[in-house]
Structure 1
Amino acid sequence: MAESRRREVVDRIRELLARQRTRTEVDELGEHEPVAVLGIDSVTLITIAAELNQRWDLTVPDDAVLDPAASLASLADAAVAPAGRDDGRLDVVGMGAVGPAGRGVPALWAGLLSERAYRLPMPYEPARGHRLGAVPGASPADVVAPDRLLELVLVAAQECLSGRHPDRRSGVTLVVGTTDTGGNALGHALRAQGDDAAALAGWIADRAAEQLGLGAAATVGSASASGAVALGYARDLLLADEAEEVLVVGADTVSRSAFHGLAALRTLGVDGCRPFHANRRGIALSEAAAACLLRRPTPEAGDTVLGRLAGYGASSWTTHMAAPESAGIELALRRALAAAALTPSDVSFVNAHGPGTKLGDVAEMRALADVFGDRVRTLPINSVKGLLWHCQGAAGIIESLACLLSLRHGTLTATTGAEPLDPEWEGYDIVTEQREVADARSAISVSCGLGGVNTALVWERA
């Protein structure tokens, strides 16, 4: 790297470090001194590396970032400037949804505003008193039907693609995020002792793509964060020019394996999801599917832009397979903000993962406090899980649609079932009543999953 270019990179790293420490401390740091002498850890350096990439198209390899002796000089020398690209923002040009609030995006928005959703008794071990969130009008037989997962995927996808000429569909890549390991279809196949390959979740995207007339297809499984991870994967495909448009669908049924698996982990509660409630006792499950059609900005295409995906961050940080950790959520948040080249002060509100579990809500709120500092007490925070319950693989996308709809309509929906709030968050701005947010420009949606999968998505108003 030419000396002038190297000097420029060093100056940019100093600029970003100055957000973490005083300008004097940063200016006095020698180029070859480890940045650790300032108390800068690897998590902060990862965030700085992400912002270098987003703002100035500079890539710093992980081994340089994670080196305990990392210095201004070593980071600058390792920086690589790839071919130029845009700012990484993607247009949302289609949405689709089906779930406990109804069929279609208008029904989703109406349900969030009215706080109405459809429930059924859980078909598994009914004596335990659990309920599930279901598509309005669905019968107990419907929700356990073998091809229920495919049906939900197709309903959401078809709404998302409505108005798109069939000739344009062949260039659309489908990515499905789901926790389903075969779910109802696999259960039926096993009981019949058959060999139904279509029962496997890995085939769901292929089957859906074939029926929809789409191009390539992939299935992503990352526990309850599957939908959000699928959005991140779609973003990677588009920014790498490996797809023209990507249809992302998050979907799940309430299968026997999901119910018994989560019951064994003591994650389920008979009261439904009650985010931030003083006596929250666990999650309740819902069937749902949500879809989002993404593409790189193409002004001449003529489609209505419904919003923008500005940034994505993820981490796989855990010391316990079931208990969430704030450090992992914090890292995902910082990466997402860095990818969007935004600061915490730029965020208008947060749509929290908010599962309503004792440990989950605490870990997430602690992460938000670490990222937003004192502003966390005035930052509007809501969770739609209080109404929709836990939509599993669909959660990351259906909650992202809630963010986009709130930004478009200038209205923040209530966190159903949150009151009375846990005294630990007294004085925080947890939204328990619908409110106007006409000036909202950007929002963060958080999604987490078992095994330490943490994600954050930054959405912007079009």
Structure 2
Amino acid sequence: MIEAIEDLGLRRADGTRRVVVTGTGAVSSAGVGVGALWDAVCAGHTCIAPISSFDTEGYEVSLAAEVRGFDATEHGLSKKEARRMDRFVQYAMVASDEAIAQSGLDMEAEDPYRVAVVFGTGIGGIDELECGFKALFEKGPKRVSPLFIPTMIGNIAAGGLAIRYGMKGACLDIVTACATGTNCIGHAVRDIRHGYADVALVGGTEEAVNPLCIAGFSNLGALSKSSDPRAASLPFDARRSGFVAGEGAGALVIESLEHALSRGATIIAEIAGYGCTGDAYHMTAPDPDSDAIERAMRMALAEGGFSPEDLGHLNAHGTGTLANDSTEARALAGLCGDAARNIPVTSIKGTVGHTLGAAGALEAIVCALSVARCTVPPTAGYSQPDPDCPVSVVAGSAITGLKQKVALSNSLGFGGHNACLAFSPYEANEEVGHARRIGID
């Protein structure tokens, strides 16, 4: 049976199932919706601005990529639901509603135990944590909200999504700092590949534009102190001086190819491979020899049956910190040799800042659309090449008409977490069924 299925193209050479993307959803500083995100990154716009959610007097940092004017009740949540959810859960709900709607997934027609949720956050309910501390120290233990714990804990985004849609398969919150979103997607890909699930709702969410977070990251020396929104988040640029905190959520519906075709789903792209390694080096700094990052990229390509010569572009982690970008550039050079100088590299953090636990999911969406639309967006703000980053950063305007075999999306997290996803365009095989590759209008 496996050989027959392989002949039809439904399975990989090793007999495991192919995994495809059928729905995407986003909340970011570009606005609500994947369309707003895609338009902003392709135009090279920056959505970074002075922080409006709290007074930054006394802070060295004044800019962030906030989700401004967000009201969850305008996007499908009731007032009661919104009151019981911290922002990171609200973002996850709104992004997931969009992804589910686009995918056309009908849970009434599914075995709920075959639908998983793998949705993470790097920090979780930091707003509620601050409120709880304030209530405890100013008013005493009896004044701490009885909903403090279920509102604050990071896994409540995944749990809440499972409850919202009735998904009863594995329900997980993977926390690997800034690699969270990518690790969540990758874990679910493996579960679907090996038959533990047919469908998964995956992604990441974050609400880290918060007084405590901004103070902590700033005192760590990780944040850009620029007051100019166009000169703050500068991935791979010689002027870069730190990242800009962002917030939001990215959600994807992924499923086995045979499941997607059986229900007539429209396929956006295929997730061809996943690589995951650890630096085992430092609490916050990447290992400068970049071997572990390179290994994760090589693993993702190899799992998809690709070689480094097939790489169309890299959607880089590209935070705008000195150490990250130079190390990631070395990893690409190690992977591709001299050819690395000709491979388009982009980072969406010039547009939406660094969304931490949500970053990998938002970047996965952009990477999937990039291979589907033959378009590589520019890196907003980039203008001055750095000799320490000898890579071909896309600047100014998007590259269009670039048909790719495969593209990589990197995520790197504090603690030495490295994760990489390989996306390839889905080409319908008439023997398999009728499906088509699309982007999002």
1:445 is aligned to: 409
RMSD: 2.4
Q: 2:265 aligns to what SS in structure 1?
A: coil
Distance in 2 of aligned mates of 1:412 and 1:312: 20
Query: Of 209, 214, 224, which aligns to 2:167?
Result: 214
| Residue pairs, 1:358-373, within 5 angstroms | 358-373=322-337
1:151 aligns with 2:93: no
Q: 2:116 aligns to what SS in structure 1?
A: strand
1:228 aligns with 2:190: no
1:432 is aligned to: 395
| Post-superposition offset of 1:253 | 0.5
Distance in 1 of aligned mates of 2:307 and 2:253: 26
Which string of whole-angstrom CA distances, capped at 9 and with x for unpartnered residues, describes residues 261-299 of structure 1? 322321011233210111210001111100111111112
| Residue pairs, 1:87-98, within 5 angstroms | 88-98=17-27
2:195 is aligned to: 241
What percent identity do the matched residue pairs reach? 31
Distance in 2 of aligned mates of 1:213 and 1:423: 52
1:197 is aligned to: 149
| Post-superposition offset of 1:168 | 3.9
Amino acid at match of 1:207: G
Q: How many correspondences in the alignment?
A: 378
| Residue pairs, 1:353-432, within 5 angstroms | 353-425=317-389, 428-432=391-395
Distance in 1 of aligned mates of 2:109 and 2:225: 46
Q: Name which one, 1 or 2, has greater alpha-carbon Rg.
A: 1
Distance in 2 of aligned mates of 1:248 and 1:436: 28
The verdict on how the C-alpha distance between 1:259 and 1:330 changes in structure 2, with shifts beyond 3 A counting, is same
2:39 is aligned to: 110
Which string of whole-angstrom CA distances, capped at 9 and with x for unpartnered residues, describes residues 120-156 of structure 1? 41626444242111224349xx9x9961111100000
1:119 is aligned to: 49
Which string of whole-angstrom CA distances, capped at 9 and with x for unpartnered residues, describes residues 422-459 of structure 1? 13346x42110322143223100111000000111100
1:133 is aligned to: 65
Q: 1:226 aligns to what SS in structure 2?
A: helix
The verdict on how the C-alpha distance between 1:260 and 1:244 changes in structure 2, with shifts beyond 3 A counting, is same
2:279 is aligned to: 317
Distance in 2 of aligned mates of 1:211 and 1:235: 22
| Post-superposition offset of 1:416 | 0.8
Q: Normalised by the size of structure 1, how large is the TM-score?
A: 0.77
Which string of whole-angstrom CA distances, capped at 9 and with x for unpartnered residues, describes residues 202-258 of structure 1? 222112321233223211100000000101111121123111200002100123443
Distance in 2 of aligned mates of 1:118 and 1:417: 11
Higher relative contact order (CA 8 A, sep 6+): 2
| Post-superposition offset of 1:181 | 4.0
Distance in 1 of aligned mates of 2:99 and 2:243: 28
Distance in 2 of aligned mates of 1:411 and 1:175: 28
1:101 aligns with 2:30: yes
CA contact (8 A) 2:61 2:214 kept: no
CA contact (8 A) 1:145 1:184 kept: no
Query: Of 252, 256, 262, which aligns to 1:292?
Result: 252
The verdict on how the C-alpha distance between 1:190 and 1:314 changes in structure 2, with shifts beyond 3 A counting, is same
CA contact (8 A) 1:89 1:311 kept: no
Which string of whole-angstrom CA distances, capped at 9 and with x for unpartnered residues, describes residues 80-115 of structure 1? xxxxx23x5311111111101111111111111223
Query: Of 86, 91, 106, which aligns to 1:165?
Result: 106
CA contact (8 A) 2:48 2:351 kept: no
Q: 1:188 aligns to what SS in structure 2?
A: helix
Q: 1:164 aligns to what SS in structure 2?
A: coil
Distance in 1 of aligned mates of 2:345 and 2:84: 36
Q: 1:310 aligns to what SS in structure 2?
A: strand
CA contact (8 A) 1:118 1:136 kept: no
Unaligned runs of 5+ in 2: 1-10, 75-82, 137-143, 227-231, 427-441
| Post-superposition offset of 1:404 | 1.3
